[in-house]
Amino acid sequence: MGEAPTGPVLEVKDLRTHLFTSRGVGRAVDGVSFALRRGETLGLVGESGSGKSLTCLSLLRLNPQPASRIVGGAVLYEGTDLLAKTDEEMRRYRGKRIALVLQDPMTALNPVFTVGNQIFEAIRLHQGARGSRLRKIAAEMMRLLRIPDPEQRLGDYPHQFSGGMRQRAVGAIALSGKPSVLIADEPTTALDVTIQAAYLEVLKEIQRRERLAILFVTHDFAVVARMCDRVAVMYAGKIVETADTWRLFDDPRHPYTVALLRSVPDVEARIERLYAIEGQPPSVFEPAKGCAFAARCPHAEARCHDEPPPDVPLEGGRAVRCWLFVR
């Protein structure tokens, strides 16, 4: 491939996706911004309910409707705003330019069609292949994802695959359109440690070969350390800290990031009780006021409860949304 462009392949600016229910309006994704470059992996981490998955779905305008609606912001793919596209135009971007791998392959795969048929569909749609060439490309994709006996396994159904094999099959479908961006929404959650390591190595190998940009959603900091170049920490619908992975582990700045890393057990330390973050994340339906982490933060000041903190740029290209760093 040629040289990567200097600008980001995907740039998200102030993305807002709200929930509309009988309880009122919920700010599930509340002003998310980040950039992703070719060949880079950005990790998106945070507690369950922080808005990670809805952010991913919103990037492709697959957020569940009418329960949720994108109400603001921009999603720029190579400078083109996807939120301004018609539904028909958007179909040309999904899979072909930006692909999505979901958390549970059993719900992503159709149980009544063979794995081969589901890979064929993606290749026909995005590459226009037919006949023997279609089958050849599908087998190559399965081989690329290290699925043994690909020609034979094309005729198998999802229930005939193991959990790790199903996840690789979903990956083959996602990568069959040769996208520039892969969104991986907790793809290793259901895998055991050995299979997880093998799957991550396959993704890294493909990334090196294709200069693929990956947005990797996870709650596992071991996966973050293994996969990610940079990390965006998400809390209550907002990104509260962004930094290079090694900087984040060596010197976390936001109190929430510090608490998250403290929550990771140290297998070499002898402790009587594991650390846990006190309290609960705020409901997305609560009125936005001050910092969402203030009620759980040991460093909270009066203004933390009354005024939302700005996004403060720091050294090394990192940023923190916290009053502690406002000079």
Which CATH number does the domain housing residue 303 bear?
3.40.50.300
User: Quick check: is 142 in a domain?
Assistant: no
The amino acid that residue 317 corresponds to is G
The string of DSSP letters for 56-122 reads HHHHTT---TTTEEEEEEEEEETTEEGGGS-HHHHHTTBTTTEEEE-S-HHHHS-TTS-HHHHHHHH
Residue 287 domain-assigned? yes
Establish if 194 belongs to a structural domain.
Answer: yes
Distances (CA, A) of 215 to 76, 207, 208: 14, 12, 15
Residues 6+ apart with CB under 8 A from 196: 188, 223
Domain annotation covers residue 247 = yes
- The CA–CA distances, whole Å, from 74 to 11, 81, 162 equal 8, 6, 39
Cβ atoms of 65 and 10 within 8 Å: the answer is no
Q: Is residue 90 part of a domain?
A: yes
Task: Name the residue with tokens 């002898």.
Answer: 270
Extract the tokens encoding 209. 């070969």
Residue written as tokens 């070719």? 38
Question: Does residue 114 sit within a domain?
Answer: no
61 falls within a domain: yes
The total number of structural domains in the chain stands at: 1
pLDDT in 10s for each residue of the chain, 327 residues = 334 445 799 999 999 999 999 989 999 999 999 999 999 999 999 988 899 999 999 999 999 989 999 999 999 999 999 999 999 999 999 999 999 998 777 888 999 999 999 999 989 888 888 888 899 999 998 988 888 899 999 999 999 998 888 888 998 999 988 999 999 998 887 677 887 888 888 889 999 998 999 999 998 888 999 999 999 999 999 999 999 999 999 999 999 999 999 888 776 777 777 788 888 889 999 887 899 999 999 999 999 999 999 999 999 889 999 999 987
Establish if 147 belongs to a structural domain.
Answer: no
Question: Which range of residues forms the domain containing residue 210?
Answer: 10-97+179-266+274-325
